[in-house]
Structure formats: structure tokens, C-alpha cells
Amino acid sequence: MLATILGERQERPPIWIMRQAGRYLPEYREVRANTKNFLELCYTPELATEVTLQPLRRFDLDAAILFSDILVIPDALGQSVRFEQGEGPVLEALSPNSVAQLRPEGALEHLAPVLETVRRLRAALAPEKTLIGFCGSPWTVATYMIGGRGSPDQALARIFALEHPKAFAALMDILIATSIDYLVAQFEAGADAVQLFESWALNLDDIAFADRVIEPNRRIVAGVRARVPNAPIIGFPRGAAGNLAKYAALTGVNVLGLDYATPLDFAAKHLPATLPVQGNLDPLRLVAGGSQLDERIDQIIAAFADRPHIFNLGHGIVPQTPIAHVARLVERVKNG
């Protein structure tokens, strides 16, 4: 896995699954049922370590990804964050004036339990298993901080950025600096690689994409590598479409994560042949299973056979995914 991230093509692609620790596993649901809330699970190292390791006990995956959430950063900055059952995250929405009330100086101390989870995971994992840390990219995190919750079009954050450019720039500076500190601390705690989740890279014009997605991610990559030389970093700009090649070139990420809407032939034609890619099975194909699943797995592997490729979904695994289908996926990727 790590060799692939660093640009070495393998005979067969390594595999991990976004959100591989989560609600499709009954053992996860059992742990979650005994915690007060979702953030308690994220901040309890014993429990977060357990749920991170659960999918690796079931499946021969090549990597574990830290169990946490992208919204621990706004929580660490002092913004009110809670997770409502059946509703998802709910935040106290930022105003232009409240950006100055965020407290970046205490963020890393607040995140100490997450870093302890990373240390425990590195100690528990076999040496050949890659440990992936992560954070949300600044634009994606900002959309939740400004909008107060997830949104199909991120309209409130887009308007905020246009109408209050100074406050927005201040917010992005805070998120970039905090993300650099957080990712460096994850590497120091034992992470082998990290992923930047830019989950809301869509719905932006080319100027906004350059300013809000490419430049902040570039600054994070450069900032992390200034302190962790040659740090292996995966970038996942979901919905980047025609901006994919520019994102990869200008941010300097090692691996470009592809969402499931990215056509295989587009990726082959427009991305550098030496650029490692990750992806990009539609999570609902994994739900449906059957021969269509086998065929699509084979198509993806064939499309990226001549370049370094990490097999993954093109977005997170969904709760209704049958466990048997995940086992079938891993078996087919590993053994054909």
C-alpha cells in the first residue's frame, strides 16, 4: 500500500474502503450503542481503536484508516458541534464576526485523544498494514462551519465567501494552520500516510475551485512536508471533474482519489501516466452485488493496470452494504 502511494505499480492493487469502520458492521453498531454520542466515540482511544480494527478482522484489507470525523477540528476550535441521530452533524453556524472567536491555540490539546488512538493503532497493527490518518480539507470543513450542517449545494458558504472575503480568508487561514498541526501530529504518532477529504469540491466555478480547494490543499501539503519531509498524502477532491489534473499538479499530493462519477477513460486520458490514483467503485454497486459488481471491479482494475492504483470506493461505504459483498470485493481484487 505505502509503496503504491509513493508511486510503485503493483501486480495487483492494494485495497482499503472509505468508511470501512462503520454502520454496516454489527460489531460497530454494538460499540456505538454503548456510547453517549458520536464524539465520545471519536475521543475515547480504547473505543476508537477497536472500531478502527474491526474491518481488518473481517477482511484482508491493506490499510486501516483512523476512526474519527472531519468535524473534530471545528469542535477543537471551540465551535459547538453535535451529531443528531438520523440528522447528521449540527453546528452553531459561524457569522463573519464569530470567526474571530475561534480558539486555534488549544486545538491540538483538544485532539490529544485522537492522537493517542493513532499511537495505539500503530502498536496494534501488523507492520505490513498501512495506517492512514486524515482530516477534512478547509473548504469542506468551512461549509459545515458556516452552514451549520451538510448541504446539497453549500450555498450559505459560497455566499459567505463572496460577501465576506476577509472573514472567509481568516477562517481558511485558521483551518489550514490547524490542519497542518493536526496531520503532522498524526504522522508523529505513527500514521504512515494521510488523506485530505475534500468532500464538497463540486458546485464551484473554476476561480472558486482554485481559491478554495486547490490553494488551501496546496498550503497544507507544503506545510506538512516542511515538518515531515516527503510525507505521503492522498487527496480526494470529490466532484472535481475537469479540475482533477490541475488539483493533482498544483497541490502536490502523491495520490489522486477519484469519485465514482469520474469516467475511467477520462482518467486514463487526462491524468499523468505516473500519477497514482485511488478509487473508484460506486458504493451502490457494492450494495447490489452479483455479476455487475464483478464486472465493474474488473473494469476498474483493467483501466488502471498500467499505473499505480489503490482500489477503493468512489465515496464512503453505505450502512446497508451486505458484509458478504464486501468480502467478495476484497477477494476479487486480491485474487481475481
Strands 193-198 and 233-237: parallel
CB 168 within 8 A of CB 97: no
- Phi-psi category of 198—alpha, beta or left, where left has phi over 0 and alpha has psi -120 to 50? beta
* pLDDT score recorded for residue 85: 76
* pLDDT score recorded for residue 171: 98
How many Cβ atoms sit within 10 Å of the Cβ of residue 25? 22
d(CA 208, CA 23): 34
How many Cβ atoms sit within 10 Å of the Cβ of residue 33? 7
* pLDDT score recorded for residue 88: 85
* pLDDT score recorded for residue 74: 98
* pLDDT score recorded for residue 84: 79
Strands 309-313 and 277-281: parallel
> Domain 2-335 belongs to what topology?
TIM Barrel (3.20.20)
- Which residues are annotated as catalytic? 19, 23, 32, 69, 144
d(CA 309, CA 324): 24
Question: Which residues of the chain fall short of a pLDDT of 50?
Answer: none
> Is 134 in a helix, a strand, or coil?
strand
* pLDDT score recorded for residue 53: 98
> Is 300 in a helix, a strand, or coil?
helix
* pLDDT score recorded for residue 133: 98
* pLDDT score recorded for residue 192: 98
Chain length of the chain: 336
* pLDDT score recorded for residue 336: 87
d(CA 67, CA 43): 10
Taking CA atoms, 1 is separated from 120, 127, 128, 239, 268, in Å, by: 20, 12, 8, 24, 21
Ordered alpha helix ranges (H), 59-101: 72-76
CB 259 within 8 A of CB 239: yes
Strand partners, 236: 197
Ordered alpha helix ranges (H), the chain: 2-5, 26-33, 38-42, 45-58, 72-76, 107-110, 112-124, 138-147, 155-163, 165-189, 206-209, 215-227, 244-251, 264-270, 283-288, 291-303, 323-335
* pLDDT score recorded for residue 239: 97
